[in-house]
Chain A
Amino acid sequence: MNTALPVINLYAVMPQIVLVSAATVVLIVGLFERFRKGIPYLSLLLLAVSGVVAVNQLGLGPVPFSDVSSMMVMDDFGLVATLVFIAGAVLTVLISISYAEARSIDRGEYYALLIYAVSGMSMMAASTDLFTFFLGLEVLSISLYVLIGFEQRDAGSNEGALKYFLLGAFASGFILYGMALLYGASGSTEYEAIARTLGGERSDAVNLLLLGGLGLLLVGIGFKISMVPFHAWTPDVYQGAPTPVAAFLSTGSKAAAFVVLIRLLGSVFPGLQMEWIPLISVLAVLTIAVGNVVALVQTNLKRLLAYSSIAHAGYMLLPLMADSQDGSASIVFYLIVYTAMNLGAFGVLAVLSARGAPCATLEDLAGLGSRRPLLAAVMAVVMFSLAGIPPTAGFMAKFYLFSALVHGGYVELAVIGLLFSGVSLYYYLRVVVWMYMRPAAETPAEAAGRLSYTGMTALCLSALAILAVGVFPSELLQLAERAVMTLP
């Protein structure tokens, strides 16, 4: 038997290759105790290298991995997503340094797994086949299970890891089942082939399989983005996980799932729009409502941010309905801004927690405005942005998102979203009120002294970015628009 060998295009998966190699290098170097202090900086360097590789490939058009099957494709959409993930990881590493040292979890594995997770997200974003999508998802998920449970001496961390693992494994099962049904219907796992089956004549039986497959996929992805009713894990896991990991979890893994959702719903399942649009719109409204309302009564900041992240997932689901380039671009824009905002919010907690007791409740923030003015200012910017108050990036993100929705003809959904976003003002501004208007406790939770330079750099960078994008959003919007242009 003579096999025709495929023509492999390594260039197409270069960002992923670089990320996996970077993580592996960090893992190996981390084995040697004498390099312990240098590991985070090595990770930053290697992440930067991967970022440069991805930037260099922007605009080089869609290149499939090989000639026999695409599996993964290098297009602007995947590359921009990868860049967002890398930026998120860089910020996470920066806020991790002091936190990890204080908790003595500053081991090579921690940073290696973080980069492996980024490579998994990048694989998900570039996938054009259910196979690679699923494997990317598992690379991400397994890294996250371990990262969440990394603080081994902490019962909460263990609890969070177990909860996320059990539910995550269950969600993976749903996704696999859905993939099996889609394969049964179309005879292939490639997005393109499934889209072709959807586009052509299809019998009732095939239709049923496709619907079942889509439904099961949505359950699994819904779990990852904490869409109601699959959100119950979110507050517990965020609360238990090491704070920088919670930051990464709430931004990166959610963004990766959204990127896949845009690719799937936009280019594979438009044929089933009649079925999924009502479903998603109901679930999105529920997600926004539950997230915002439950967040009102939270006093633990990590839980508050968890419910706020549920609400934001709901906002980002809305433009999927509009099914337009504008809609997808507004989601990408929102994802970028959301990454900066949420990393900033969790980052403040992480930087404070590195000095003594974990900073977790609103009371811990009391008097922060006079105690640590710079940090409080960053937190205030982030909170204003999360609430969507101009001139922050959060406002621009919400503006584009709702205007795409209105253009798509979903005015009532936009109104509901805006109403709940008004509700959210209460709990975001409450954080600011606690920081500036409540006197500090007798003994502040965190010890006096300098905060970590790296952490502060990351926080100031994200706060500045939020303000800059809030004032000059067009550059970033162009990037988002360019990214979705390459989608079929």
Chain B
Amino acid sequence: MSYLPLILLVILVLIVAAVIVTLSSYIGRKKTSASKLASYECGVPIKDSARKNFSVKFYLIAILFILFDVEIIYLYPWAVVYGDLQLYGAAAMGVFFLLLVIGFLYEWKRGALEWD
């Protein structure tokens, strides 16, 4: 049961969230008007639906993010056992890292990180 603190935290978060939402819906005053019900009450008037085709660039950024995110799956355990593996571990991660740095430089040079 070493997860007891974690479970307590989760329960606490749920309670706090529930309490805040319930309280505000009970205590808060509700005076609705057309502009108050708009998505951005004090922003620019809405012109159009937000549902538009996003540029493929967002997708490219997201997929590059995932690829480097996957990298941490390997980096994290490596960092934990680094003390044991010493030079061997450094070499092993070095090869791994080299390949990904090449990938990074590649996308940089190809302009995948630039918006226009």
Contact = CB atoms under 8 A, between A and B. Distances in A.
Instruction: Check whether chain A touches chain B (CB < 8 angstroms).
Output: yes
B7 to A, nearest CB: 29
Contacts of B68: none
Contacts of A31: 106, 109-110
Contacts of B114: none
A2 B106 CA distance: 38
Interface stretch (B11-19, B29-37, B40-48, B80-88): B80-88
Contacts of A1: 84
A5 B102 contact: no
Interface string B86-116: 0010000000000100100010011000000
B85 A27 contact: no
Contacts, number: 16
Contacts of A2: 84
B97 to A, nearest CB: 14
A1 B109 CA distance: 43
B85 A5 contact: yes
Contact of A27 (B81, B84, B106): B106
Contacts of A24: 99, 102
Contacts of B106: 27-28, 31
* Chain A interface bracket (under 10, 10 to 19, 20 to 34, 35 or more): under 10
Interface string A139-151: 0000000000000
Contacts of B109: 31
A3 interface: yes
* Chain B interface bracket (under 10, 10 to 19, 20 to 34, 35 or more): under 10
A27 B88 contact: no
A27 B102 contact: yes
Contact of A3 (B81, B99, B102, B110): B81
A28 B88 contact: no
A461 to B, nearest CB: 33
Interface string A1-35: 11101000000000000000000100110010000
A129 B109 CA distance: 37
B4 to A, nearest CB: 27
Given A24-B99, A24-B102, A27-B102, A5 B88 contact: yes
B85 A28 contact: no
A5 B102 CA distance: 28
A31 B110 CA distance: 7
Nearest to B83: A1
A391 to B, nearest CB: 48
A5 B88 CA distance: 8
A1 B99 CA distance: 30
A27 B103 CA distance: 10
Interface of A: 1-3, 5, 24, 27-28, 31
Q: Which 9 A-B pairs have the closest CB atoms?
A: A3-B84, A31-B109, A5-B88, A1-B84, A24-B102, A27-B106, A3-B85, A2-B84, A31-B106
Interface of B: 81, 84-85, 88, 99, 102, 106, 109-110
16 contacts: A1-B84, A2-B84, A3-B81, A3-B84, A3-B85, A5-B85, A5-B88, A24-B99, A24-B102, A27-B102, A27-B106, A28-B102, A28-B106, A31-B106, A31-B109, A31-B110
Given A31-B106, A31-B109, 14 more contacts: A1-B84, A2-B84, A3-B81, A3-B84, A3-B85, A5-B85, A5-B88, A24-B99, A24-B102, A27-B102, A27-B106, A28-B102, A28-B106, A31-B110
